[in-house]
Amino acid sequence: MNFQGEGINARDIVNYMDKIHERVDSVPKVTQHQVRSILDRYDTITDGKLLLTGFLRYYADTVQLNLRLEFIRVWILLHSDFINKHRF
């Protein structure tokens, strides 16, 4: 997933969630309703694309509300993917 431009759209979110589902099979596949809910609730720009801050807030909220192992594993994967792509 690439946040270099102006955020990510619904299709990008579905593609990313599908990849997470493949890596952590206990995480259910995302529905269009869930994607719409994410875009409605978290930081987006005028054309409806999700900003990186919104994406990270979504995952932080999900982990806090669902302290289940699979969501913690997704958070760890997200963190390691981000660190590997943005080494300082």
Question: What pLDDT score does 67 carry?
Answer: 65
Query: Which of 5, 8, 19 minimizes the C-alpha distance to 58?
Result: 8
Question: What pLDDT score does 47 carry?
Answer: 82
CA dihedral 7, 82, 10, 35 (to 10 degrees): -120
Give yes or no for a contact between 30 and 12, defined as CB atoms under 8 angstroms apart: no
Query: Which of 19, 28, 12 minimizes the C-alpha distance to 62?
Result: 28
Question: What pLDDT score does 88 carry?
Answer: 38
Question: What pLDDT score does 87 carry?
Answer: 47
> Which residues of the chain fall short of a pLDDT of 50?
87-88
